[in-house]
Chains A and B, each alone.
Chain A
Amino acid sequence: MGARVDVTPAAADLIRSLRGQHGPLMFHQSGGCCDGSAPMCYPEGEFRTGGSDVLLEELHIEGVAEPVSFWMSTSQFEAWRHTHLTVDVVPGRGSGFSLEAPEGVRFLIRSRILTPEELAALPS
C-alpha cells in the first residue's frame, strides 16, 4: 500500500490494460480548470518532469513489471501534502491527453487526510 498514493482494484485493472497497450506508464496530477484535478496517465517519459515536480509514489501494480511513477508539481504538492490520494476510475469521457479517455472511463482522485502518525513516518 502506497504511503502517499494508492490505487483501487478497478484502477489497477485499467493500469494493467493500459500497460499492455502502451508500455510503461506514469501519472502526473493536474491542477487548474476544466479537467484539472485529474491524474493524467501517459506513457512513461511522455511528460517531462523536472525540478518543479515531486515524485509522490512509485506504484507497484500486480501484473505490471515496473513501478508506475506518480508525479505532482512541487507548488501543488504544498497544498496537497497533508492528504493521501487514491487513484480510482469512473465512467466518463475524459480529456487532456490521458491514455484512458478512449476507453470510456476516467481516472479520478479520491483523498483522505493523512494521520499524524502517517505524516511523521513520511519523508518531508
Chain B
Amino acid sequence: MAIYSPPGSDGAVVSYESRYDHWIGGEYVPPVKGQYFENPSPVNGQNFCEIARGTADDVERALDAAHGAADAWGRTSVSERANILNKIADRMEANLEQLAVAETWENGKPVRETMAADIPLAIDHFRYFAGALRAQEGTLGEIDDDTVAYHFHEPLGVVAQIIPWNFPILMAVWKLAPALAAGNAVVLKPAEQTPASIHFWMSLIADLLPPGVVNIVNGFGVEAGKPLASSNRVAKVAFTGETTTGRLIMQYASENIIPVTLELGGKSPNIFFDDVSAQDDDFMDKALEGFSMFALNQGEVCTCPSRALIQQGHYSDFLAAGVKRVENMKQGNPLDTDTQVGAQASNDQLEKILSYFDIGRQEGAKVLIGGARADLGGDLAGGYYVQPTVFEGANSMRIFQEEIFGPVVSVTSFSDYADAIKTANDTLYGLGAGLWTRDMNTAYRAGRAIKAGRVWTNCYHLYPAHAAFGGYKQSGIGRENHKMMLDHYQQTKNLLVSYSPKAMGFF
C-alpha cells in the first residue's frame, strides 16, 4: 500500500502549473478576453489551478495554427509519423506514474486504475496506430486492360475533437492517435471539468510534435466548444458525450457538410445465465467480478454495466453473492493504491446521481446496498463520493433506462433466453453489453442478438486497441479503438488512370 501525495505538495511525484493558457502553435497563448476559471480536484473539492476561458477568438487562432501546420504534417512520411507516435508512447511510459497521479488528482478516479488501465492503454493506443499506419495500404482496381483505379489515403486536414471528462487522457488519445497517424492537424477542447491533465501530458511530449499539429483550446462548451464544432474551417468533428449535444454537433456539421464521429453513451446490460452458478469455481468468481464492474471508474464509463440481468434459476443466490462483493469494495482516497472506488468527477455529477437515487426509490426500486453520498471525512470531506449502490427493480424504471454515470447498478431477472434478449435490447442505446455463460452456443447466439457495438463475452471492461468500439442505435456513429478509425480521419483519393494512347472515339 502507498498513498501518493497530492500534486504540488511535498513528496509529490508530479506538479501542475498554477495556470494553463491555450496551447496554440506550439506555445502557450493567453486567452484573448483574458478570463480564467478555477479547476477543482474532486478528491477534496479544492481548486488546484486556473484555466484559460476560451472564446471564438481563441478558437480562430488555434485554427490558424492548425491550418498552418496541416499541409506539412500531412506530407510527412508514414514512417516519420509512426515514429513520432512511438516516441510519444515511450515518453508517456517513462512518465507513467506522473501521468497517472495527475489524472487521478483531476478526475477523482483511483490511482490503481490510472496506473493499470488509463495510462497503459493510452500508451498502447499510440503504438497501435503507429503500427496500423505503417501497415495501411491503398488499393488498386484493374478496371480493364488499360485502365487502373488507384485509391490513396489522404488526411482530412484540420479536425476538431471534443473530449469528455471521464478519462481525460485516454479519451483524448483515442481521438488524437488516429487523427495524427492519418496526417491531420487537431484543435482539441478538453472538458471543462478536467481541463488540466491533457496539458500535463502535452508538457511531456511537446518537443516531439511540430508546432500547430496539436492545439488545445480550453473553455466552456458554449463559449469554446460551439465555435469549434460549428466552424467552417474544420473538416470533421469528433465528440464523446451525450445525445443532445451530439445532435447539435451533427446539426452544425450539416451546415458545413462535414462528417462527425459520435460516442454518446449507453445503458449496458450485463447478462448472467443460470449456468454461471453451476459450479463454485474460478469462472463463478470471475462472473461476480463482472457484476461488480459497474463501480469501475465510479460508474463514469459510457459502457458501465449498469443493468444486471440475472436468470431466475440462480437469481437470489447470485445477487446475494454480488451484493457481498459490493460490500467488500474499498472506497477511499483516490491517491491510495488500495482504493477501488474513488470520487465522482464533479459536483454536478454527484448531484445528478443523488437525483437518480431519489427517482429510483420513488419508482419502487429496492436499495440492496448503498444509495447515498459517502462522507469520507478528514481531508476528503469536500470530495464528491458516492456509495457503490445496487438497486433491484424493473427494466421500465428510469434507473434502468438512463445512464446514471455513477457507481450504481440496477438489477432485474429474466426467465429464459428470449426474455434476456428482449430486456437487453429494451433500451435507446447500444454501446456495450456483457454476457456470462458456460455454454458457447448460448454465448454466440446472445452475442449476435444483442444490438450493441461491443458484447463482452465472459469478460467486461477490457479496452484493448484493435477491438472496435462504438455504438448501435442512439449510442453514436463510428468505431474508435481500431484501425478502421483511420478511415474516419482520411479522404479517399481515386486516381483513375488510362494507359491507352488511343482516343475513346466519342468526338
Binding site for B on A (CB under 8 A): 28-38, 40, 42, 46-48, 73, 75-76, 79-80, 83, 90-99, 101-102, 104, 106, 108-113
Task: Give chain B residues whose Cβ lies under 8 Å from the Cβ of A34.
Answer: 164-166, 191, 240-242, 265, 302, 405
Q: Mark B206-241, 1 if CB is under 8 A from A, else 0.
A: 000000000000001111011001000000000011
Interface presence of B422 (CB below 8 A): no
Task: Give chain B residues whose Cβ lies under 8 Å from the Cβ of A33.
Answer: 164, 166, 240-242, 263-266, 302, 403, 405
The contact of B220 among A47, A75, A91, A101, by CB within 8 Å, is: A101
User: Smallest CB–CB gap between A10 and chain B, Å?
Assistant: 13
User: Smallest CB–CB gap between B364 and chain A, Å?
Assistant: 9
Give the CA-CA distance A40 to B229 in the complex, in Å.
Answer: 17
Interface presence of B358 (CB below 8 A): yes
Q: Do residues A79 and B240 form an inter-chain contact, with CB atoms below 8 A?
A: no
Interface presence of B347 (CB below 8 A): yes
Q: Do residues A36 and B220 form an inter-chain contact, with CB atoms below 8 A?
A: no
Interface presence of B352 (CB below 8 A): yes
Chain A interface: which of B98-106, B246-254, B287-295, B483-491? B246-254
Q: In residues 330-364 of chain B, which contact A (Cβ within 8 Å)? A: 346-349, 351-352, 355-356, 358-359, 362-363
Interface range for B: 35 or more
Besides A31-B242, A47-B247, A79-B428, 14 other CB < 8 A contacts?
A33-B241, A34-B302, A37-B242, A37-B352, A93-B347, A95-B192, A96-B244, A97-B222, A97-B225, A98-B222, A101-B192, A108-B355, A111-B362, A112-B362
The chain B residue with its CB closest to the CB of A28 is: B244
Task: Give chain B residues whose Cβ lies under 8 Å from the Cβ of A76.
Answer: 243, 428
User: Smallest CB–CB gap between B237 and chain A, Å?
Assistant: 12
Q: Do residues B347 and A102 form an inter-chain contact, with CB atoms below 8 A?
A: no
User: Smallest CB–CB gap between B2 and chain A, Å?
Assistant: 30
User: Smallest CB–CB gap between B302 and chain A, Å?
Assistant: 4
Interface presence of B401 (CB below 8 A): yes
Q: In residues 342-388 of chain B, which contact A (Cβ within 8 Å)? A: 346-349, 351-352, 355-356, 358-359, 362-363
Q: Do residues A40 and B244 form an inter-chain contact, with CB atoms below 8 A?
A: yes
Q: Mark B422-458, 1 if CB is under 8 A from A, else 0.
A: 0000001100000000000000000000000000000
Most chain A beta-carbon contacts within 10 A, residue among B221, B244, B356 = B244
25 A-B interface contacts by CB (under 8 A): A31-B243, A32-B243, A32-B246, A32-B264, A33-B302, A33-B405, A34-B164, A34-B241, A34-B265, A35-B242, A40-B244, A40-B245, A75-B428, A76-B243, A83-B359, A93-B192, A93-B346, A95-B193, A96-B242, A97-B222, A98-B222, A102-B37, A108-B348, A111-B362, A112-B359
Most chain A beta-carbon contacts within 10 A, residue among B222, B248, B403 = B222
Q: Do residues B352 and A108 form an inter-chain contact, with CB atoms below 8 A?
A: yes
Give the CA-CA distance A33 to B401 in the complex, in Å.
Answer: 12
Binding site for A on B (CB under 8 A): 37, 53, 164-166, 191-193, 220-223, 225-226, 229, 240-248, 251, 263-266, 302, 346-349, 351-352, 355-356, 358-359, 362-363, 396, 398, 401-405, 428-429, 474-475
The chain B residue with its CB closest to the CB of A43 is: B222
Most chain B beta-carbon contacts within 10 A, residue among A36, A90, A91, A112 = A36
Q: Do residues A113 and B362 form an inter-chain contact, with CB atoms below 8 A?
A: yes
If A34-B165, A76-B428, A90-B347 touch, does A96 touch B359 (CB 8 Å cutoff)?
no
The chain A residue with its CB closest to the CB of B171 is: A34
Q: Do residues A108 and B265 form an inter-chain contact, with CB atoms below 8 A?
A: no
Give the CA-CA distance A104 to B193 in the complex, in Å.
Answer: 11
Task: Give chain B residues whose Cβ lies under 8 Å from the Cβ of A36.
Answer: 241-243, 264-265, 402-403, 405
Q: Do residues B355 and A83 form an inter-chain contact, with CB atoms below 8 A?
A: no
Give the CA-CA distance A113 to B396 in the complex, in Å.
Answer: 13
Q: Do residues B251 and A48 form an inter-chain contact, with CB atoms below 8 A?
A: yes
Task: Give chain B residues whose Cβ lies under 8 Å from the Cβ of A98.
Answer: 221-222
Give the CA-CA distance A82 to B247 in the complex, in Å.
Answer: 25
User: Smallest CB–CB gap between B265 and chain A, Å?
Assistant: 3
User: Smallest CB–CB gap between A48 and chain B, Å?
Assistant: 5
Q: Do residues A73 and B398 form an inter-chain contact, with CB atoms below 8 A?
A: no
Give the CA-CA distance A102 to B362 in the complex, in Å.
Answer: 33
The chain B residue with its CB closest to the CB of A32 is: B265
Q: Do residues A94 and B221 form an inter-chain contact, with CB atoms below 8 A?
A: yes
Task: Give chain B residues whose Cβ lies under 8 Å from the Cβ of A83.
Answer: 359, 398
User: Smallest CB–CB gap between A76 and chain B, Å?
Assistant: 6
If A94-B221, A95-B191 touch, does A31 touch B346 (CB 8 Å cutoff)?
no
Give the CA-CA distance A104 to B47 in the complex, in Å.
Answer: 13
